[in-house]
Structure 1
Amino acid sequence: MSHYIGPDFLLENRYSKELYHDYAHSMPIIDYHNHLSPSQIANDVIFQNLTQAWIHGDHYKWRALRTLGIDEKFITGSASDKEKFLKWAYAVPFTMRNPLYHWTHLELQRYFQITDVLRPDNALAIYDEVGQKLQSPEYSYRSLLTHMNVAYLCTTEDPTDTLEDHGKIATANFKTKVSTAFRPDNAIHIDSTQFNSYLQQLSKVTGADISTYDQLCDALANRITYFHERGCRISDHGLPHLYSESSTESEIKSIFKKKIEGRTITQKEVRQYKCALLLFLSKKYHEYDWVQQFHLGALRNNNTRMYETLGPNTGWDSIGDWLQAERLSKFLNRLDSENALCKTIIYNLNPRDNEVMASMVGNFNDGSIKGKIQFGSGWWFLDQKEGMTNQINALSNIGLLSCFVGMLTDSRSVLSFPRHEYFRRILCNIFGKEIENGELPTDIKWIGKLIQDVCYHNARSYFNLEL
């Protein structure tokens, strides 16, 4: 069986096809949140084989492999790259109806022109064919991005990062513009056992002592300035939920002092500290006219045994079920009340809360900026066909889809950019079906414009990009 994913994949009628092929397909990609390696971009890495480019670091694939009972040796362990790829090829036929099945074949086609369905009996031939291609400069890291028409991408860095690699990229002859997002989660998670050691790292980078809460704020403000001077205009936070606990200045200083002295702090004090520091940071973002992002709802590191063995971001996270609405409302309202609420994107991980988030952002869209507060695209466990459709429908029903800034990869792999195509096909099919059903007029030109806005123009305007 070959040519599984044809030109009209996911496009169910002539309107869907026209919208995708004539309007969405050729739009450049703006990927404003991902976890790509700036070092690999800066050095224009040549991958030695498909496993290095495709399987290393991909915890989506790792979870599927483990579910099939495949030993960790062939996932993150000591097996050779070829052995790991062959195990993935064995797994692929079992991933049907998981988005991995779609992504796998989109990626093989779009990057390597492999149209066969990946199976154990053709795995070695595909591994060898792609391995030969990857040795060519036409398949270097930057070339792969250029091939996918990526106009802009934004990686994600801790405040302690020097951004040296971003500086190298900026001076390289590279069409894609690359920036960074400021992610200070390590400074926020005061309940982490690594908090005090992280403060030492931050102190070393800033060259200043951090023994008080005020000094921490000064250090973070210093790093925000540093990032801004190097082109950063976006922040990001990965949190279970936002925080709304009230506190006094003296209480926060006392909580911080207790922590660095090794004394126990209560759960209430944890929440007070996190709320206070997030408010401080958000006000700084507003001063610099940044966009702030909040990825909410992940329950992380559930499997203690495996987390202690392999570390974070290795496939042990899931959807959390916290109540989001009231805390989110109070947090945004405190900033808005002080006229200190900058452009904000809220990402939801629990599908139960889609309508909650879609309605919440409307409370703070005050007419000052088009789409100022955004309900972000389906992410992580929800960046699949149903998850994207549900997010699009919730936003359409409660807000304005026409103002949406669209899709992002949120990925650690340079081969993940066909996810934008996946999103665009789903988006065009939603509109196409409603045209066919008579729910929307047959105004292809206008609807095509809206789709191009969602795919590209809205994000370009929202992030003030000069492309």
Structure 2
Amino acid sequence: MAKLSLHPDRLFPADERTRAIARALYAPIKDLPIVSPHGHTDPSWFAYDQPFANPAELLIVPDHYVFRMLYSQGVGLERLGVPTVDGSATASDPRAIWKIFADHYYLFRGTPSRAWLDWVFAEVFGLETRLEPATADLYYDTIDAALQTPAFRPRALFERFNIELIATTESPLDPLEHHKAIRDSGWQGRVVTAYRPDPVIDPDTVGFVDNLARFGELAGEDVSTYAGYLRAHENRRAFFRAAGATSTDHGHPTAFTADLPREEAEALYDRVRAGQASAADAELFRGQMLTEMARMSIEDGMMMQLHPGAYRSHNPGLAARFGRDKGADIPVQAEFVRNLKPLLDRFGNDPKLTLILFTLDEDTYSRELAPLAGHYPVLRLGPPWWFHDSPEGMRRFRERATETGGFYNTVGFNDDTRAFLSIPARHDVARRMDCAFLARLVAEHRLEEDEAHEVAHALAYDLVKAAYKL
């Protein structure tokens, strides 16, 4: 059986001198607390601290990075136990699901998923042999036995991973009962929510009109008028802030914004609420609401995150059978300079607003995003995200964004994941890659080493706390 080992110099430069600088930069930051301000872990894990069910339910069934790769090689999601929309049966034997995963683990060679999973196997579960068909049962039995012990419950792992804060992401329709249970439990782990209003902002959302009715009920507002609808957002934002939220999160198809006269916005809302919105109306309404969200952020202090540029559920057959977020979202071209101008014309110079921009279109880093963030005081650049949450993606981001945007117009790293056990692995990759980039600048006499140490600390810890008001 092949040995599983994590090389201490992984991801560092091959050149010996530069590698030594990277090691020196990494040593004082590698154990800094993890701040995870944007993610999708389940708050019920921390509210009730129940054991995770089994290795397959924890590491395979919910992880679209994993089953996306397997699906691309002909492994149906049914075989992996992914739940269906209509509740029809899929595979239910977790050991059999794990065996399929082990048989296909070679597919992940060279991918960030392989790096994260190997870290989890070695560092969290203490496994010393590589996952392959012959070791599938060893892995399953080791992980399954660990999950039954108190040391592997969610709160214990939260503390073991040295997580200072983790943010989940909830819809305005969520009652946030799990967050209340966390607060009422007396546990000291800091788990906060983030306000994700897409279900009541995007007219293309399935059930949008019904969502509006429920939104009004929860907020105690009459959403038959535009004014009442805006008050409902203000009400729910206040409710989320009481649950610890410092941020809003917007997953729009594009970065389009609008700033309509009031009467035009009211007429647009009437069409949207009646279910009569055209495609153009839907885009215009999303754009108008981004500007309204910016106004509200200036008033209540919540910062904004915008991550456009994904063609959601590109595989309609898969979406119909298994629902959203099943690995069939694909990056598309994005545009920011013109699309953001209405919002920036109104609020781009206001010191009370912070808007963090993410992209899946790397071509915009040096052409649009770095110049925008390098000028407008409200803008910051989010880290490489989703498809680009990878060593090469991180390297490309720093190379393309730093020259114009600098380091201090970025916000460090966030993991944006449902895969709880991979969070420290992802942060470790980001810290190593930032140290590798800084080491090159030092080796080329473009940055002094004492300054590089300051930047490394800022990228790992300081910038994220400042940007997210933590």
Whether TM-score is above 0.5 comes out as yes
- Match in the other structure for 1:346: 357
Pairs aligned (count): 454
1:93-172 matches, cutoff 5 A: 93-172=106-185
Distance between the aligned counterparts of 1:274 and 1:460, measured in 2?
28
Query: What secondary structure is seen at the aligned counterpart in 1 of 2:338?
Result: helix
Query: What secondary structure is seen at the aligned counterpart in 1 of 2:134?
Result: coil
Cα offset, 1:259, TM superposition: 3.2
Distance between the aligned counterparts of 1:363 and 1:446, measured in 2?
23
Q: TM-score, normalised to structure 2's length?
A: 0.92
Counterpart AA for 2:192: S
Q: Deviations over 1:93-121 (max 9, x none)?
A: 12112211111101212211223221111
- Match in the other structure for 2:375: 363
Contact kept in structure 2, 1:283 and 1:341, CA below 8 Å: no
- Tell me whether 1:8 sits opposite 2:15 in the alignment: no
Distance between the aligned counterparts of 1:193 and 1:136, measured in 2?
41
What is the percentage of aligned positions where both structures have the same residue?
25
Q: How well do the aligned residues superpose, as a CA RMSD in angstroms?
A: 1.9
Distance between the aligned counterparts of 2:32 and 2:409, measured in 1?
17
Distance between the aligned counterparts of 1:163 and 1:16, measured in 2?
42
Contact kept in structure 2, 1:246 and 1:272, CA below 8 Å: no
Distance between the aligned counterparts of 1:124 and 1:359, measured in 2?
52
- Match in the other structure for 1:458: 463
Cα offset, 1:3, TM superposition: 3.8
Query: What secondary structure is seen at the aligned counterpart in 2 of 1:153?
Result: strand
Q: Deviations over 1:133-166 (max 9, x none)?
A: 1111100011112111110111111112222211
Q: Deviations over 1:202-237 (max 9, x none)?
A: 123123332222221111111111112232111110
Query: What secondary structure is seen at the aligned counterpart in 1 of 2:223?
Result: coil
Query: What secondary structure is seen at the aligned counterpart in 2 of 1:236?
Result: strand
Q: Deviations over 1:310-350 (max 9, x none)?
A: 1111111010113332112332232236x486112111111
- Tell me whether 1:388 sits opposite 2:370 in the alignment: no
- 317-326 or 419-428: which moved more? 317-326
- Match in the other structure for 1:48: 53
- Tell me whether 1:426 sits opposite 2:426 in the alignment: no
Change (3 A) 1:308 1:90: same
Distance between the aligned counterparts of 2:236 and 2:109, measured in 1?
45
Q: Deviations over 1:379-433 (max 9, x none)?
A: 1111011111111222211122145321111001211211000111111112223
Contact kept in structure 2, 1:85 and 1:127, CA below 8 Å: yes
Aligned pair partner of 1:260 in 250, 273, 291: 273
Counterpart AA for 1:30: V
Distance between the aligned counterparts of 1:113 and 1:452, measured in 2?
29
- Tell me whether 1:37 sits opposite 2:52 in the alignment: no
Distance between the aligned counterparts of 1:402 and 1:215, measured in 2?
39
Contact kept in structure 2, 1:241 and 1:328, CA below 8 Å: no
Counterpart AA for 1:73: E
Contact kept in structure 2, 1:299 and 1:319, CA below 8 Å: yes
- 164-173 or 343-352: which moved more? 164-173
- Match in the other structure for 2:314: 302
1:406-445 matches, cutoff 5 A: 406-417=412-423, 418-441=425-448, 443=449, 445=450
Distance between the aligned counterparts of 1:169 and 1:438, measured in 2?
49
Q: Deviations over 1:165-187 (max 9, x none)?
A: 11221233434311111010111
Change (3 A) 1:303 1:341: farther
Distance between the aligned counterparts of 1:377 and 1:120, measured in 2?
36
Counterpart AA for 2:76: D
Query: What secondary structure is seen at the aligned counterpart in 1 of 2:340?
Result: helix
Change (3 A) 1:121 1:373: same
- Match in the other structure for 1:214: 227
Distance between the aligned counterparts of 1:296 and 1:316, measured in 2?
16
Change (3 A) 1:70 1:203: same
Contact kept in structure 1, 2:221 and 2:231, CA below 8 Å: no
Change (3 A) 1:260 1:458: closer
Counterpart AA for 2:178: D
Distance between the aligned counterparts of 1:147 and 1:257, measured in 2?
51
Distance between the aligned counterparts of 1:96 and 1:63, measured in 2?
14
Contiguous gaps of at least 5 residues in structure 2: 14-18, 83-89
Counterpart AA for 1:390: R
- 87-96 or 152-161: which moved more? 87-96
Cα offset, 1:83, TM superposition: 1.4
Distance between the aligned counterparts of 2:273 and 2:303, measured in 1?
31
- Match in the other structure for 2:87: none
- Match in the other structure for 1:62: 67
